[in-house]
Structure 1
Amino acid sequence: MNISQDPVSASRILVIGANGYVGSNLVPALLRAGHHVKATSRNLSQLSKQVWHRHPNVSLHHLDLDGECAAALSELLHNIDIVYYLVHGMASGSAFYDYELAIARNVSNALSLSHVKRVIYLGATQPEGKSSPHLSARKATGNILRESNVQIIELRAGIIIGTGSAAFEVMRDVVSHLPAVIAPIWLTSQSSPIALETVIRYLGQMVTLSLDGSLVLEMKGPEVISYEQQMQRLARMINKRILIIKVPFLTPKMAASCLSIATSVPTPIAAALIEGLSHNLVSDTTDVSTLLPLPAIHFEAAVETALSSESDVVKNEIWGYDPDAISRWHKGYGYYPKQAGFSVDTDATAEQLWKNIQKVGGDEGYFFGDWLWVLRGYIDALFGGNALVKQHPSGDNLGVGDFIDSWKVIQCEPLKHLSLLFGMKAPGLGRLEFTIIDHGTHRTLDIRAWWHPAGFRGLLYWFAMMPAHLFIFKGMAIALAKKSGATEITPSPRQ
């Protein structure tokens, strides 16, 4: 095997899945190394809120791998040296296995017609014997990519310890929120958790490392420890005591069904991960450290780094870098937000929709169910809040920093988007968003609440409010469209 490190030179890189957990951390590392990056996501508006989106060496591109994407992929692959494939389909629910394989075939077909030199694929550590659907999909994806006849460097990892890692956030939420955990006996399954920093360094150095042929390499942390031991060690670090009671009859599916009340991690992702954690994730595949030795980062050091950077979730354009949002964030809040909302497609103009959105609150009210808003205001007042105080800026146009009742405007993009920081007394941090997407022939209006729960109390609050959310956001979207002169209103498939 030929192994050497080429002198660092600028490469033209395509990152597929740049908006994800690993991708959003990898792109800035590649930019710091001087590379030119095309970053893709199927949600371009969210991608444009990454802190690095204005870097002169990065360009942002919409890419939806599900469906007819051959032309878009072919164009994106033009003049590209290196491709990072970082997407997965766990958020797609029970059909994610077929979804992952389908999009992998789309990418593999496009690669076979390209001049790409190397693909770096982030896979998953494989257990011996029977596997979970999530882990099986990761392995099958690597096999499909290799059918392209492009060099595929597959780097496999088990549990990644870092801010936003779903496996880490599930563990953190469970340890932080629950004094006792009834867990399956397979919580003793072994793995080699690895620090996010180490993963990013390995991925980044694959650009210039000289290697012959396609390879499968394992990324491992310095210790082999069980998920139970990880939970206990995390608990000690945050000064928590947790009792873990293991029972033989609790299956991975049963455990996953209980997760939504203990963690803010999206349930489909958490459920897929739980099934994977029921296996020992210790592999004898060649360790990448034999080719690229890096300083060992032990579990506690990786956790410390993750916990210290969790406030970064509100230090971005999604929250408008708002000082009130940043000051109110607490490290005990759930990293992943809960959400509820409703979308409609309508023939109302963007101008008329925006004109009415700007009237929200104050004497105009909230378009629908005002009695519920008043009731919530009284509850807020009982806890010392000021939600009953009606206020609205004068004039026809809202701006960042304006106050609407107890809300604060943290983003305002005319004809497109309004984001309001939640100001009532409640266990967590949230925002309310009004979004208009103009398709030319029609507009999509979306009204949506996002909520980072403050521990278990914050999760209980969210679920207590869920019936009202489901009722009121649908009513608000339809009422706002009608108020804006719509003659056609249909539910949008975004829900």
Structure 2
Amino acid sequence: MTHAVAGASGYVGRKLVRLLDAAGTPVLALGRRAEALPGGTHVRGRAVDIADTADLTEALSGIEVAYYLAHAMAAGADFAERDRRMARSFAKAAADAGVRRIVYLGGLGTGELSAHLASRQEVGTLLGEAGVPVVELRAAVIIGAGSISFEMLRYLAERLPAMVCPRWVGTRVQPVAETDLLSCLHESADDRIPAGVHEIGGPDVLTYQDLMQLYARVRGLPRRRIVRVPLLTPGLSSHWVNVVTPVDRAVSRSLIDSLRTDVVVTRPATVFSVEPMSAADAIRDALDSQRERIAERVFDFDNGLLDGVFALRTEVPVSGRDARAARLDLTECGGSLRWYGWAWAWWLRIVLGKVFGERLALHRPGTVEPGSTVDWWTVADLGDNRIVLVTEQWFCGEAWLGYRIAAGRLEQVGALRAKGLLGWAYWRAVYPVHLVVFRVMARKQARRAHALARKTSSDTQV
């Protein structure tokens, strides 16, 4: 059974494609840009405009279950009309292609809805107009790294120990864990899940203020001081959020306009096998899962900020002989600051950490392997051509340092998941220094490899 995922380059789409691929399900990933689509063992991607019914019909040929996870929220003021066009096109294409069922992720809410929530629910109706059965899941805030709502929550709670907030912080919300949502989406492909609307959420109904305080508690931050001010309109709130968070302006405005509506489950779905997580466990799981993914994919990071993680990468060329030596040098870490490439800069970093209560100590393990303690780091990943170190001992948050030798170059990537306002301020303050230090570190690593290659060559000749 082949599944198609429309909107595969988005947050939920990418997660769902990975889940289906891991389960061995053939997946067709659909999106506007082929280069942005996720890959996988059982995944093939295709660029398609959902509003182009003829092209979409051809793409959906042979598909039994089609997930609709696309939306036009970032398109500006006319997003609702574009959502209508795409939904009608998808419905007709699915019917013409013989798709057995459509699975759609919409939004909770009753009564007077915002333009965003009204559009989400209208799309669910339009998808069924051509006769293909639709399983419509309605959910509120998704707790997971990369979810726009979660990232807004993260940045507000992390960066603002005290904040003046509008009345919407008292609106009730029933968040759902990312893993629970994905499980429900996965099960929705089965005929045992009846077509129709299914409301899903976790066991906790909270206000947005409660949710920010809960995030702070789980993250180990002091309780946030929140003062409600009734004069802040959604428009003013969006400007305020745009200053504090890097979330897209068009998206944040639409979302904030929706925060006036309670989004809670009124008719709990009973057809899924999922035992939903509490909000606290969902936040903890989101943070823990992100920490594991960073260690696995640190070399995919680009310079800048993404989902609460600052990253900086540097590359220097190395010759073939030096590359072989550099691989050997990766396991020579620990016990000396010289291995990092600029010893005195790291010495200053240790001194700075002492001001904030850090007690960083050098340590050389008997064998460098995954799980070994190397200085203040733990070896998170180790291969023939790479090493990734992680530490949770820094006052400013969790940090990763990775080295990889590939395609005639040495790649060095540093990442920091800043913790609280202090962590954010630390990265901003040292970023200009890091730009210089990281280049020097990478070059010195290359020089170490060159020297080791010459020594190895000399020893061989002797």
TM-score (norm 1): 0.62
Note the 1:113-262 alignment, pairs <5 A. 113-128=96-111, 130-211=112-193, 214-240=195-221, 241-262=223-244
| In structure 2, distance between residues paired with 1:252 and 1:413 | 50
Does residue 17 in structure 1 map to residue 2 in structure 2?
A: no
Query: 2:17 maps to which residue?
Result: 27
Alignment check: 8 A CA contact 1:104 1:145 kept: yes
How has the CA–CA distance of structure 1 residues 172 and 205 changed in structure 2, closer, same or farther, with 3 Å as cutoff? Answer: same
How has the CA–CA distance of structure 1 residues 409 and 195 changed in structure 2, closer, same or farther, with 3 Å as cutoff? Answer: closer
| In structure 1, distance between residues paired with 2:30 and 2:96 | 19
What is the letter of the counterpart of residue 14 of structure 1?
A: A
Query: 2:285 maps to which residue?
Result: 305
Query: 2:49 maps to which residue?
Result: 64
Q: Which runs of 5+ in 2 are unaligned?
A: 312-316, 318-341, 347-384, 387-401, 433-462
What is the letter of the counterpart of residue 202 of structure 2?
A: G
| In structure 2, distance between residues paired with 1:21 and 1:419 | 31
What is the deviation of 1:242?
A: 1.2
281, 294, 308: which is aligned to 2:263? 281
How has the CA–CA distance of structure 1 residues 179 and 73 changed in structure 2, closer, same or farther, with 3 Å as cutoff? Answer: same
What is the deviation of 1:337?
A: 8.3
Alignment check: 8 A CA contact 2:176 2:276 kept: no
- Runs of 4 or more, structure 1, over 6 Å off, are 336-339, 408-414, 418-423, 426-429, 459-462
| In structure 1, distance between residues paired with 2:14 and 2:201 | 21
Higher alpha-carbon deviation: 246-255 or 306-315: 306-315
| In structure 1, distance between residues paired with 2:290 and 2:428 | 18
Does residue 36 in structure 1 map to residue 8 in structure 2?
A: no
Instruction: Describe the SS at the equivalent of 1:181.
Output: strand
| In structure 2, distance between residues paired with 1:73 and 1:196 | 28
How many residues align? The count is: 345
What is the deviation of 1:283?
A: 3.7
If you compute each CA radius of gyration, which structure gives the higher value, 1 or 2? 2
What is the deviation of 1:200?
A: 0.6
Instruction: Describe the SS at the equivalent of 2:78.
Output: helix
Higher alpha-carbon deviation: 201-210 or 144-153: 201-210
Root-mean-square deviation (CA, aligned residues, Å) is 3.6
- The structure carrying a bigger helix percent of its residues is 2
| In structure 2, distance between residues paired with 1:300 and 1:280 | 20
Instruction: Describe the SS at the equivalent of 1:294.
Output: coil
How has the CA–CA distance of structure 1 residues 294 and 422 changed in structure 2, closer, same or farther, with 3 Å as cutoff? Answer: closer
| In structure 1, distance between residues paired with 2:148 and 2:410 | 26
How has the CA–CA distance of structure 1 residues 162 and 411 changed in structure 2, closer, same or farther, with 3 Å as cutoff? Answer: farther
88, 92, 96: which is aligned to 2:79? 96
Query: 1:296 maps to which residue?
Result: 276
Alignment check: 8 A CA contact 2:299 2:413 kept: no
How has the CA–CA distance of structure 1 residues 308 and 111 changed in structure 2, closer, same or farther, with 3 Å as cutoff? Answer: same
What is the letter of the counterpart of residue 18 of structure 1?
A: A
Does residue 335 in structure 1 map to residue 307 in structure 2?
A: yes
What is the deviation of 1:87?
A: 0.9
What is the letter of the counterpart of residue 229 of structure 2?
A: V
Instruction: Describe the SS at the equivalent of 1:59.
Output: strand
| In structure 2, distance between residues paired with 1:171 and 1:99 | 28
What is the deviation of 1:296?
A: 2.8
Residues 432-459 of structure 1 deviation map (CA, whole Å, 9 limit, x = unaligned): xxxxxxxxxxxxxxxxxxxxx9636767
What is the deviation of 1:420?
A: 8.8
Residues 324-356 of structure 1 deviation map (CA, whole Å, 9 limit, x = unaligned): x8xx99xxx6517899xxxxxxxxxxxxxxxxx
What is the letter of the counterpart of residue 50 of structure 2?
A: L
| In structure 1, distance between residues paired with 2:345 and 2:40 | 41
| In structure 2, distance between residues paired with 1:263 and 1:151 | 39
How has the CA–CA distance of structure 1 residues 31 and 181 changed in structure 2, closer, same or farther, with 3 Å as cutoff? Answer: same
What is the deviation of 1:384?
A: 6.1
Alignment check: 8 A CA contact 2:30 2:46 kept: yes
